Every structure is written in C-alpha cells, then in structure tokens.
C-alpha cells in the first residue's frame, strides 16, 4: 500500500466539444485563361511568399502585342507633344490637339489591356503559405478554371466546433480554449475564441464557434479532428489520487493515516471535478493529510499499518500489519 498527502492542484472547469482544424487562409489557384503551361516555379509542399510567381502560361503572342502597343504609345506621345508646341504658337487648332490626346489615351489603354492579359498568364501566390500537391505539369494545356495547386496558410489554425445552445451564456469571444489531437499523443494546444455564430441551428440546437490557435511549428494540419475544452474557470483545490477514493452508493470515503502512524481511519469526503489520476476534494480533508492511495480494498476503519522509511520527496509506503492470535 502507498500513502500520499492530500495536496493542492490546479483544476480547470471546461465545456467539452469536438472540432475540426482549418487553415487560416486557403485557396485553390486556378488558371484564368485557356493556354499552355510554360513553367512551374514551385514544388509540392514548398513554402511560398505572397506575390511569388507560381506558374507561367505561354504568352509569346501577348509579349509581341505589348511591344507593338508600347511603340504606338510612344509615337502617339511624340505626335501629341508636337501638336502642343504648335498650339502654343497658334499654329494648331484645339480640335487637332484633342484628337492627338485621344490617340495617346487609346494607345495607353491598349497597352494596359495587353498587360492585363499578360498578368492573367503569370500566376502569383495571393498570400504566404504552403503549396499543396500540384495537379499539372509543364507543357499541358489548361482551360480557365483548371486547378493548379492549393495554397494554405497554417501558421495559425482556425478551430471550428459546435456547442449546445444551453452553454451559450457561458461562452464569449476572448475566452481561452485548450485543444488536443490524438496524432500527437494528446499534446495540448491553447488558443482563444474569436467568433460565435449569431445563429443557432434549429435542428441540432447548437451554435458554431471559432477559435484561433497559434501553430508556429506547423504541427497541426487542416482537417484534423481535435478535442476542445472551453475554459470557464481555473482554481487551485485540494486533491487526492483517484485510486484513494472508495465509493459506497452516493457516499465517498478515503483512508487517512492517523497521527500515531500505525492505523488508518475511514474518512467521508465530498468530491468535485476529476482530472487524469486525481479527484478534487471539497470537504473532509485538510492539506497534508496522509491518504492511502493504493490497496484501499484491503483496509477497514482502524486497520493497523506500518509506515516504511522513504526518500523525503517520495510518497510513504504503508504495510498493513497482520493480525496476531
């Protein structure tokens, strides 16, 4: 048998839920036009920066058109400048000047239109993130809307989950949440609630909640199932090992070592919250009371025991004395 002192431990009151991890930002990059893929500038799983070129579609025709448009714009600008000089000396009419201005503006608009066509063929990352698995190869002809790759920003995870409407009064924006995922041995991740859906689902009578969790090491992945605890209250309370508590009907008991260190007493306690391995004791014990934590099924009120010597930082071991005839 082992005896341990009742100690103060941190207990957390939480609302339990199950949620799904989502990327902070995620978008499927698609082709804007029907064209041949000239080059891809990323590989699967690569980190990309905002504005980085991901893919180039063939644009030889547009490049030639742009050069022609630039030349026409330059010529239109020169013609306009000549007419402006003549107009200043009174040798050109206002109508002639307006015509040259219109020709310059038309040439500029044509060049901008061609530049927009070129921009449609140079595909850039809209934000920094991680590239997924690419769906095309250089040389293939894609049509408008063909998905090329998905970009996801997972530096922060959006955790979406639902709670029963009965808990809405206990949940608010800014509240802390703790989440665990089985893929990492229930490692704890903390975050805060950022939004609560203003509408309750009339079928399930539940409300959607979103929390943000920092993910600097990129462990969490979109789509992961996470167990969520919404922190309502944190407090320090007296606790004993879970195995020390004996239940009889609605009553709970522990066996405490008496001051003489030779016998135990059956002590009624009131219990509260539980956490792995420990039970909160709300009444019946004082901090430091020595409680038998293992082997309680062999004990009765007043059973004799013998405390064995042990290291100061280790729980004392109690041996039950055998009765003598």
Cα distances (Å, whole numbers) of residue 213 to 22, 62, 177, 188, 225: 10, 45, 9, 11, 14
Instruction: State the burial class of residue 230 (Cβ atoms within 10 Å of its Cβ: 0-12, 13-18, 19+).
Output: buried
> Looking at the structure, do residues 126 and 210 belong to the same domain, yes or no?
no
Mean of pLDDT values over 245-255: 85
Q: According to the model, what pLDDT value does residue 309 have?
A: 47
Please provide the average confidence, as pLDDT, over all residues in the chain: 85
What the block records as the tokens of 312 is: 């100061």
- Domain presence at residue 269: yes
Q: How many domains does the chain fold into? A: 4
CATH number of the domain that residue 302 is part of = 2.40.420.20
CA gap 42, 325 in Å, rounded: 85
Give percent helix, percent strand, percent coil of the chain, each to the nearest 5: 20, 50, 30
- Domain presence at residue 271: yes
Q: How many CB atoms lie within 10 A of CB 242?
A: 14
CA gap 48, 149 in Å, rounded: 12
Q: According to the model, what pLDDT value does residue 230 have?
A: 87
> Looking at the structure, do residues 138 and 102 belong to the same domain, yes or no?
no
Residue ranges making up the domain that contains 115:
59-119
What the block records as the tokens of 25 is: 């930002």
What the block records as the tokens of 181 is: 């995922």
Domain C-terminal end among 211, 235, 259: 235
Query: What number of CA atoms fall less than 13 Å from residue 255's CA on the CB side?
Result: 26
- Domain presence at residue 310: yes
Residue 28: pLDDT band (50, 70, 90) is very high
CATH number of the domain that residue 195 is part of = 2.40.30.170
- Domain presence at residue 185: yes
Mean of pLDDT values over 242-271: 84
> Looking at the structure, do residues 226 and 193 belong to the same domain, yes or no?
yes
Going along 165-303, which residue ranges are E strands?
176-181, 187-200, 206-214, 225-241, 246-248, 251-257, 264-275, 278-283, 290-294
- Domain presence at residue 256: yes
Q: How far does Cα 229 stand from its chain's mean position? A: 14
Q: Which residue has the higher pLDDT, 153 or 230?
A: 153
Mean of pLDDT values over 199-210: 94
Q: According to the model, what pLDDT value does residue 21 have?
A: 95
- Domain presence at residue 84: yes
Q: According to the model, what pLDDT value does residue 325 have?
A: 31
- Domain presence at residue 263: yes
Residue 222: pLDDT band (50, 70, 90) is very high
Residue 323, pLDDT > 70, answer no
CA gap 203, 201 in Å, rounded: 5
> Looking at the structure, do residues 225 and 263 belong to the same domain, yes or no?
no
Residue % of the chain over a pLDDT of 90: 35
> Mapping DSSP to helix (H, G, I), strand (E, B) and coil, where does residue 85 land?
helix
pTM across the whole model: 0.62
- Domain presence at residue 150: no
Q: According to the model, what pLDDT value does residue 1 have?
A: 67
Residue 125: pLDDT band (50, 70, 90) is very high
Mean of pLDDT values over 248-267: 83
CATH number of the domain that residue 141 is part of = 2.40.50.100
Q: What is the pLDDT of residues 262-313, one digit of tens each?
A: 788 888 888 888 877 888 888 888 888 888 877 777 778 777 877 664 434 4
> Looking at the structure, do residues 227 and 240 belong to the same domain, yes or no?
no
> Mapping DSSP to helix (H, G, I), strand (E, B) and coil, where does residue 216 land?
coil
Residue 29, pLDDT > 80, answer yes
């Amino acid at each position: 048998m082992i005896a341990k002192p009742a100690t103060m431990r941190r207990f957390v009151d939480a609302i339990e839920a199950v949620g799904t991890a989502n990327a902070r930002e995620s978008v499927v990059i698609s082709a804007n036009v029907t064209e041949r893929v000239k080059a891809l500038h990323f590989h699967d799983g690569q980190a990309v920066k905002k504005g980085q070129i991901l893919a180039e579609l063939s644009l030889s025709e547009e490049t030639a058109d742009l050069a022609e448009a630039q030349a026409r714009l330059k010529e239109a600008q020169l013609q306009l400048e000549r007419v402006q000089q003549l107009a200043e000396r009174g040798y050109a009419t206002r109508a002639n000047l307006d015509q040259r201005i219109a020709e310059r503006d038309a040439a500029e608009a044509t060049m901008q239109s061609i530049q927009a066509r070129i921009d449609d063929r140079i595909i850039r990352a809209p934000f920094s993130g991680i590239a997924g698995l690419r769906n095309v190869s250089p040389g293939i002809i894609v049509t408008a809307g063909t998905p090329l790759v998905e970009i996801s920003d997972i530096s922060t995870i959006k955790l979406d989950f639902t709670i029963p409407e009965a808990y809405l009064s206990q949940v608010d924006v800014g509240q802390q949440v703790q989440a665990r995922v089985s893929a990492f041995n229930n490692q704890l991740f903390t975050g805060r609630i950022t939004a609560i859906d203003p509408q309750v689902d009339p079928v399930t009578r539940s409300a959607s909640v979103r929390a943000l969790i920092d993910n600097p090491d990129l462990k969490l992945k979109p789509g992961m199932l996470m167990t969520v605890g919404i922190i309502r209250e944190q407090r320090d309370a007296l606790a004993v090992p879970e195995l020390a508590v004996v239940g009889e009907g609605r009553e709970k008991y522990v066996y405490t070592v008496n001051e003489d260190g030779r016998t135990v007493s059956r002590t009624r306690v009131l219990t509260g919250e539980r956490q792995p391995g420990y039970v909160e004791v709300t009444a019946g014990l004082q901090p430091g009371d020595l409680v038998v934590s293992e082997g309680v099924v062999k004990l009765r009120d007043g059973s004799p025991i013998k405390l064995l010597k042990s290291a100061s930082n280790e729980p004392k071991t109690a041996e039950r004395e055998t009765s003598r005839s």
